[in-house]
A and B are shown apart, each in its own frame.
Chain A
Amino acid sequence: MLKIDPKIVAGIESCTSKTDLYPYLQNAIELEHSTIPPYLTAYYSLIPGLNDEIAGLIRSVVIEEMIHMTIAANILVSLGGSPSVNNPDFVPDYPGSLPMGIGGRDFTVHISAFSMDLVINTFMVIEEPEDPIDIGVLRSQEVTYHTIGEFYGALKKKISQLPTSDFGHQERQVLSVFSPEVIFPITDSTTANNAIDIIVKQGEGTSTDPFESAGEPAHFYRFGEIYYGSQLIEDKNGQCKGKKYCYGGNPIPFVSEGVFPMKPDPTSEQFAEGSYGRVLSDNFTEGYSSLLNALHESFNGSPDQIDTAIGLMYQLRFMAQKLMSTPLKEGEISTAGPVYKYQKT
């Protein structure tokens, strides 16, 4: 069950000023970021040209997680806070649990290549809505998880109590790159809560509609499409066998050979010091650290740095796929993978 530590929600409820909310908004940034490395790895691990549809779905989720991270950061900035992104504690230990004890201590997130097991047992657990809609999958599916929606619900409640004078610093918010429909200036409690609604809706959908927008299912259901191998559709002429929605649309094929055989949970020591593999591995970790530095600068007074961060994201993809096509040892099938940790220099 994906449970959030009750202390966190209680903590938000006891906040009396905007500064009291800073640590929780920082938590939100960390939470939104924490899913990016496992999702990105799964996305990178799909060999270009073989599983492009699945890759496209995961990529679209990753981009929205970045949007969510940006929203949380912009709200914190608007309230006069300073997001902290470039420090070792910002990055969860993989394998490990998610920030704020989300999912409980037993829920361990790994850095793994794409697999159906990863989708159902990790990604769909992370994205489980508060109130999942009963989707026809033409076989039984029991859902018992809880959600992080409560966390955002508590935040919204507190934010709505803040006066407009608490908000500002528009020039320090990251407003370019993403569409203005999802990233807009946070100027008061209404805009802040509208932005939080986007996070929740893109992640979970609503309690009655699994689509966050036309043709675009929320994250949980997007992963469901991958797992069940078909697009999510609304029932029109009974093809969902009595359910309002089902995974019964166009097939989403999975080619099992189309995944790099990356060994799970890579570490810096996957290659000996002084080897070419180590150069590749260190390049990735440095690139990822640079990305966090660029994001940190973007959220702390240099919003234009976001363009640089985007450049780094593309570079990371090249680096990750180079690692994933490099065998750990000569003659071995399993390959190396990206190491997500922050190193200052």
Chain B
Amino acid sequence: MSYLGWPRLHFKGRFQADTSTVNNDVRHYKSDTFEPQFQEMMVGQGQGNSRRTNGYWNPEGTGAWRMLGCRITGVARQAGLLTKEQDDAAIGLLIAGSNNQVAGKLVDLDPQQQAVSQIWGLKIALDDVQGHRLFDSEYMVSTFIDLWKRQQIPQNFDQTLAAAFQSKLGNVTWGDLSGYPVLKSLRQASEDGLLSIRFSVFGFDRSPEAGDYTTGVVIGSIGPSTQSEPSHFVLGRQLVAKLKGQNPTAPANQVYSFQCLDHPDQNTISVDLGNSLPILHANGDLQDVGELYMAVDKQGQLKQGHCLDSSQIELLGQVNYQDQNWFQNCAGIVDFNYSRNTWLESNLADHRLVLLKKDDCADYKVLIAETDNGLYVRADNYVYRLNPGESATVDFYATRFGQPVELNLAINANNAMLGGAGTGATLNTEKWPVPEVGEPASAIHYPDSLEIDTSGHAQLRLTADSAGPGRPRGYLDGQVYGVGYSIQNAPADYIYDPWNFISILVWDAWQIPEQPTWYRDIQPILEQYGNLYPIMSRHLVELGNYDSVVKHLNTLKLSFSLPVSDPNSMPVSRDLSTNKRATILNWLDNVDDSGLPLKGHPDDRPVCPAPVFTTEIKEIEADIVMDRGGKQDYLMQILARINARDQEDESC
């Protein structure tokens, strides 16, 4: 099942991610040293320019994430792909978003873990051009995955990294489907109220002067779904890219990781290259990487980047990615039918899939291959927010060539992809220390191994220590932790997907005061949000100012009491612990004789503690200097850290 089943609707359009960027730098969370310029637009966006990062590229962002002008471009059925409006009435239909609530929100887990952005509170609907609703649904929160440097020629301040989102659509309600047989069969193929969706996002422009500022291209697919299958990946066949060095965003052979689903009853395998082929420009023109073929490795020996002759493989077929409109028509998904090939019929189920490029070195070169022995393990959901004492259950799935398999996992702390300041701004490191992540390790508990039985499914329990991490980061709440997993006794050169790890934000312990006061309990929280989200303070309510806040008591009460799944829930960043949220509500409810919440005394304001663990201070600089380098964002810093660590390892 999943979107790789049939029927499948492909769509293309643009999306807007109006993310706020003041919070992209962890040092901006430090309220006592917050500078007004941290709320200003950055200066000098271009690569190689001297720049002043300020509040980065969209300080007045609202957090909204919405689809813009997305239309159905293709309909894939078992019998083949249709792409013309006259062939299927569903082609040309509009993918609409929330038309009775605010847009969805794009939310980072933490300024020190920005590589797991999630979409919250998004609605997805299908409308005909007259506005008749064919289905309505709620997109279940999901995190992007397979972030890689897809765009080869940067322009403006394009985000050259691309990624994919995969999730289920829940609470699907169907309208009048007469005239749309493909929608009827989609409804029939799905379990009640469910659909599966995946989409790739790329070509995102962050230049304020550009026409497509805050927008990018989205191409994706919607297909049937079942309750029991994972929500965020396909229980199928996984091709995982070998990397250039340790860089998780750089595949060694141009093509990034992807998944496939075999339909043995139909002798067809569906291959999803939607987020895997490099593009030249932001518009999604695919780069010419040669003649591409999907094939099966007969001996199971093929290595990525190696050359081979035809005898070593059985071809499934060519990937005609250079045909006009190929990408938008099929969203990068190709169905290969192997009915006429008896070898494939009997061997595809337990032989590795490979993507080949025709090459002079021999007949072909392997660009990417299925994991060794077809072994794969994945945590379905990999982002968690935990209050002290709270637990979460992580669903793990293990497969061999897409079928459930028994295996053991080693679970261990892995903070390599977390941490850093968030932007490349050069700030005085004494005044703006950068907290260390993952410390103290004692604040998060999990077993060091997990047995997965023959069902291929097991659950890992993560528990935040009831004492909390103890405010190790000083000026911001809680701590972020990375938890990695690996297959015990995996084949020697087994290639892991670098994005397959779990990210957790554990909040600090916080006692809810019976009589919270503004100065002691509320201002320290709200002022930080006021600093980080200037859209609020400039247009609605100055969150750090008592008089301004009390003018909006009812609105704040409403926003802070909404469930986090609601797109209107405050804070937009979903980074407030349950107890702190309760403290704010308690304060809003607990009024004095004049009907206003308690103010207390300015002297009660707690002093912002220094971080317990900070990254090493290397030099003392002027307060704020022009950045020396070009583009340095969160990932670039992470990569620099990884490279530095590698060099240290080598020097040992």
Contact = CB atoms under 8 A, between A and B. Distances in A.
A317 B66 CA distance: 18
Contacts of B127: 344-345
Contacts of B211: 274-276
Contacts of A310: 555, 558
| Chief secondary structure at chain B's binding surface | loop
B558 A344 contact: no
A293 B487 CA distance: 51
Contacts of A276: 210-215
Interface stretch (A2-10, A31-39, A101-109, A282-290): A282-290
B100 A308 contact: yes
Contact of A294 (B66, B100, B130, B535): B100
| Chief secondary structure at chain A's binding surface | helix
A322 B555 contact: no
Interface in A278-308: 279, 282-283, 286-287, 289-290, 293-294, 297, 305, 307-308
Interface in B92-121: 94, 96, 98-103
B68 A297 contact: no
A315 B102 CA distance: 7
A45 interface: no
A310 B540 CA distance: 13
A308 B568 CA distance: 8
A312 B99 contact: no
B102 A283 contact: no
A333 to B, nearest CB: 18
B618 interface: no
Interface in B210-242: 210-215
A311 B102 contact: yes
B296 to A, nearest CB: 44
B568 A311 contact: yes
Contacts of B200: none
Interface string A303-343: 00101101110110110011000000000000000000001
B555 A314 contact: yes
A96 interface: no
A48 B102 contact: no
B98 to A, nearest CB: 6
A123 B204 CA distance: 43
B36 interface: no
Given A314-B540, A314-B555, A345-B127, A294 B212 contact: no
A293 B100 contact: yes
Nearest to B212: A276
A133 to B, nearest CB: 30
A113 to B, nearest CB: 16
B538 A305 contact: no
B101 A312 contact: yes
A279 B101 contact: no
B64 to A, nearest CB: 8
Contact of B540 (A274, A286, A287, A317): A317
Interface string A175-196: 0010000000000000000000
B16 A345 contact: no
Nearest to A305: B100
Given A276-B214, A283-B16, A318-B539, A344 B101 contact: no
B438 interface: no
B131 interface: yes
Interface in B440-489: none
Contacts of B213: 276
A297 B99 CA distance: 11
B297 interface: no
A294 B101 contact: yes
B15 to A, nearest CB: 11
Contacts of A279: 16, 68, 214-215
B605 to A, nearest CB: 24
Nearest to B68: A279
B249 interface: no
Given A279-B68, A345-B127, A289 B99 contact: yes
Nearest to B538: A48
Interface in B498-557: 535, 538-540, 554-555
A286 B101 CA distance: 10
B539 A321 contact: yes
B567 interface: yes
B639 to A, nearest CB: 30
A343 B96 CA distance: 12
A274 B99 CA distance: 21
A142 to B, nearest CB: 37
Interface in B121-167: 127, 129-131
A271 B36 CA distance: 31
A286 to B, nearest CB: 7
User: Most A CB atoms within 10 A — which of B94, B98, B101?
Assistant: B101
B532 to A, nearest CB: 15
A318 B98 CA distance: 17
Given A279-B68, A307-B558, A345-B99, A317 B539 contact: yes
B132 to A, nearest CB: 8
Interface in B49-96: 60, 62, 64, 66, 68, 94, 96
A308 B101 CA distance: 6
Interface string B549-574: 00000110011001000011000000
Contacts of A283: 16, 64, 66
Contacts of A294: 100-101
Contacts of B130: 344
A308 B210 CA distance: 32
Contacts of B94: 345
Interface in A91-141: none
Contact of B131 (A48, A305, A321, A344): A344
B539 A290 contact: no
Nearest to B123: A290
Nearest to B536: A318
Given A286-B99, A305-B100, A311-B559, 19 more contacts: A177-B554, A275-B211, A279-B16, A282-B68, A287-B103, A289-B99, A290-B102, A293-B100, A297-B100, A308-B102, A311-B101, A311-B567, A315-B64, A315-B103, A322-B60, A343-B131, A345-B96, A345-B127, A345-B131
The 4 closest A-B pairs by CB, nearest first: A344-B131, A311-B568, A293-B100, A345-B127
Interface of A: 48, 177, 274-276, 279, 282-283, 286-287, 289-290, 293-294, 297, 305, 307-308, 310-312, 314-315, 317-318, 321-322, 343-345
